[in-house]
Amino acid sequence: AQSVTQLDSHVSVSEGTPVLLRCNYSSSYSPSLFWYVQHPNKGLQLLLKYTSAATLVKGINGFEAEFKKSETSFHLTKPSAHMSDAAEYFCVAGLFYKLSFGAGTTVTVRA
């Protein structure tokens, strides 16, 4: 079984500054890893995914994540935050059909 820990429950950044959302996973095997975003009162949207190809994964809206096996991490970054990035972000680890969600990180963006 795998588990996911999102190290920050809340991140606050100024518009135009970098965003870092941290995710660690534990798994007996190398899982597939995902980041999903949920805007207020909306459903979940896939930002990006890692499935054992390149370790640096680029997603939508300027987000990217790096898979580091030695650190069992899959941190999400964006070089310059925009007001529209205010949302909740979920890290997900999956092995075949077994999927585990982190508790989520709420991002607020200050003008």
Partner 1 sequence: NAGVTQTPKFQVLKTGQSMTLQCAQDMNHNSMYWYRQDPGMGLRLIYYSASEGTTDKGEVPNGYNVSRLNKREFSLRLESAAPSQTSVYFCASFAGPSGEKLFFGSGTQLSVL
Binding residues for partner 1, rule: CB under 8 A, are: 6, 9, 32, 34, 36, 43-44, 46, 49, 51, 90, 92, 94, 96-104
* Residue whose C-alpha is closest to residue 107's, from 23, 25, 14, 45: 14
Q: Which is nearer to partner 1, 32 or 77 (CB)?
A: 32
Q: Which is nearer to partner 1, 44 or 72 (CB)?
A: 44
Q: Which is nearer to partner 1, 9 or 26 (CB)?
A: 9
Distance CA 21, CA 50 (A): 16
CB neighbour list of residue 34: distance below 8 Å, 6 or more residues apart? 46, 47, 48, 49, 50, 91, 92, 93, 94
Q: Nearest approach, Cβ of 80 to partner 1 (angstroms)?
A: 27
Q: Nearest approach, Cβ of 98 to partner 1 (angstroms)?
A: 8
